[in-house]
Structure 1
């Protein structure tokens, strides 16, 4: 069968709505019907993963869309087994599109006799036959160096900047971007520079993991609309405490922009009962029913950005161009008509 002239998508079970949204967006750009290839990704009775691809993929440029979110181990195994199935079916190139890269928090040895799990996962993905990785907002930028294959790390900040300019139009001079910890200052500074706002930092000190002893605000937030920016939110404990502290210190209102909404345990309940006016997350992780029902959680799409990135990779053109406002704004034109 002759090689097609379009990229081909295949989806695991981790976030099928996002995969379908990416396919629809690519269909709009390409002027033809792009859809995930026909395949089944199922479980045997003992929960072993089974994959069968029903379409010919010989010589094709394949893109697997699969975040390694909860359950991380199951979704990671699905990703690797799909890659193995494609490799054994003679796909020309296999790119893993991992909107949320699990195990990224274990990027270094924080204590003696602990693993660097992010490096182990990088090795596993490479050995499974994956030749390129496309992801978004890695928890630690150095994880790109754990791979011996190309890694394209997209950023949610340009999309967040578009969303902020749209929803806070007319009040941009009252916004202060806040980093929830010292380690996230670079991320917060980048967003602050994009929207031309001030910057503040919440300095937190822990007595033990998961327990914050003291929090201090560095910067002037009196009367400001504070926007906390972070790469992920797990149990939301620190996020909600930071929001309460900012209000106590004189902030007019507090919002949060989070790249990956992990939302484990009591996270949603904490957010809905907190002083956060809104929490904006991307759809890199498929939202649960409680997340979608939460009054102050809003989801922004990443499909336009990932669809364009996949197209650029397939065409051999620049992916880093998507970091710029001028390139990304037209892609989100229908969602954020900033001049309307």
Structure 2
């Protein structure tokens, strides 16, 4: 379907630097200035959120860029109120660009009398007036089924594959991809297949919630450059302990790649003191000062991928083409070179 209007971007307060980067990338692709729609998002004294859009959005194709990261409730409420403001202003279509989808870990009932909060969030977004969702590496792929609207879930694996091939050029034969837990095997296998590397698993057993009793490495990591892959790093406790176990099992180096740097509590301090030589995250969540200052944490930009995905949605062309590493090479031009 031919696009009738230019795509228009609007950003909440959760990750404005990413929104500006996406706008710059789209300006490069379009050959014309693409800016963020002028709006104010404020809080009253009682912390109620107020949104006012200063530009005409009637009949426009709108894209709200707002990860629902910490503080999750505030950022989610911002997203919902912005959606309502655009809907009541007669926007033709509203796409929620949610680089990090909060509440995604509550995707099933693990115990009796507990909520499925991810489904509740999906309902809230749909009822507010969101027509489509664009996100990155959902914690569980089945969350797409919680929505009755289209959901495009991008993957960081193709970008990570480019990064690994660039930074470990000449040593790829020594690389082994490791899943830090059994639940993340599919994610780790995806990267392993892209870089043609073997796969190992760290099996963890808990005696009680929050306490890891034992970790066992499944696979031979002797003299290997181990690259752990996960969808997010929260407090980094499991990741740092898994890295220590890998080194004790004979690994030469340990690195980690994670799509979302939640970095709660002692995470940055733990990573800085860990045996990991590098931890690579994306900017789906705006990194704090401590993350930027950490010598062994590196941030990979997602703006090139999100900008292209938004343009593909606007043009009515394939978003799944961005799942291929070869497609991303020209999008990330200059950042990575083939080995």
TM over 0.5: yes
Q: Matched residues in 1 for 2:322 and 2:209: separation?
A: 36
Aligned residue for 1:104? 104
TM-score by length of 2: 0.98
Give the match's secondary structure for 1:322.
helix
Q: Quote the offset at 1:334 in angstroms.
A: 1.8
For structure 2, the 5+ residue unaligned runs are none
For structure 1, the 5+ residue unaligned runs are none
Q: For the structure 1 residues 56 and 4, does the alpha-carbon distance in structure 2 shift closer, same or farther, using more than 3 Å as the test? A: farther
TM-score by length of 1: 0.98
Q: Quote the offset at 1:4 in angstroms.
A: 7.1
Q: Output one character per residue of 1:269-312: Cα deviation in whole Å (capped at 9) or x when no partner.
A: 00000000000000000000000000100000000000000000
Aligned residue for 1:245? 245
Q: Output one character per residue of 1:91-124: Cα deviation in whole Å (capped at 9) or x when no partner.
A: 0000000000000000000000000000000000
Computed over aligned residues only, the root mean square deviation of the Cα atoms, in angstroms, reads 0.9
Map 1:279-298 → 2, pairs under 5 A: 279-298=279-298
User: Does residue 162 of the first structure (1) align with residue 165 of the second (2)?
Assistant: no
Contact 2:22/2:303 (8 A) holds in 1: yes
Map 1:1-340 → 2, pairs under 5 A: 5-338=5-338
Q: Quote the offset at 1:5 in angstroms.
A: 2.9
Moved over 4 A (4+): none
Give the match's secondary structure for 2:277.
strand
Q: Matched residues in 2 for 1:147 and 1:208: separation?
A: 34
Give the match's secondary structure for 1:105.
coil
Q: Matched residues in 2 for 1:236 and 1:167: separation?
A: 23
Corresponding residue pairs, total = 337
Q: Matched residues in 1 for 2:252 and 2:39: separation?
A: 51
Contact 2:5/2:61 (8 A) holds in 1: no
Q: Output one character per residue of 1:53-77: Cα deviation in whole Å (capped at 9) or x when no partner.
A: 0000000000000000000000000
Q: Matched residues in 1 for 2:42 and 2:24: separation?
A: 24
Give the match's secondary structure for 1:138.
coil
Q: Matched residues in 1 for 2:160 and 2:256: separation?
A: 10
Q: Matched residues in 1 for 2:207 and 2:160: separation?
A: 33
